[in-house]
């Protein structure tokens, strides 16, 4: 597995989340540039996972007053987009 450093783009997951996922995202992007078609889906999956994590974090920070029904809809829209 090739691991490379990259910079955060299009997500709000912050440093800990980006550090955990950023290297894998970069590897998937490198594989797309190398012509591996399956990696296109992997890149979309990486971004969807980060977006779901952002939505979950935002809702959970609100505690009991969080819009958990809205979270369900957000996750569904992210994954079914």
Q: pLDDT at position 14, please?
A: 59
Residues 23/3, Cβ–Cβ less than 8 Å: yes
Output 40 or 2, whichever has higher pLDDT.
Answer: 40
Q: How far apart are CA 35 and CA 75, in angstroms?
A: 30
Classify residue 30: in a domain, yes or no: no
Domain of residue 81: give its range.
Answer: 38-81
Longest CA pairwise span in the chain (Å)? 46
Q: pLDDT at position 69, please?
A: 96
pLDDT, tens only, 7-60: 444 545 556 666 778 888 999 999 999 999 999 999 999 999 888 988 999 999
Classify residue 14: in a domain, yes or no: no
Classify residue 29: in a domain, yes or no: no
Closest CA to 15 of 1, 29, 5: 5
Q: pLDDT at position 13, please?
A: 54
Q: pLDDT at position 28, please?
A: 94
Classify residue 12: in a domain, yes or no: no
Classify residue 80: in a domain, yes or no: yes
Classify residue 57: in a domain, yes or no: yes
Q: Domain count for the chain, please give it.
A: 1
Q: pLDDT at position 78, please?
A: 93
């Amino acid at each position: 597995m090739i691991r490379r450093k990259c910079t955060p783009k299009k997500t709000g997951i912050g440093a800990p989340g980006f550090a955990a996922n950023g290297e894998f995202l970069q590897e998937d992007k490198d594989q797309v540039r190398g012509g591996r078609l399956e990696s296109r889906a992997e890149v979309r999956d990486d971004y969807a996972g980060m977006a779901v994590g952002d939505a979950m974090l935002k809702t959970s920070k609100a505690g009991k007053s969080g819009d958990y029904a809205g979270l369900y809809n957000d996750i569904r829209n992210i994954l079914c987009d």
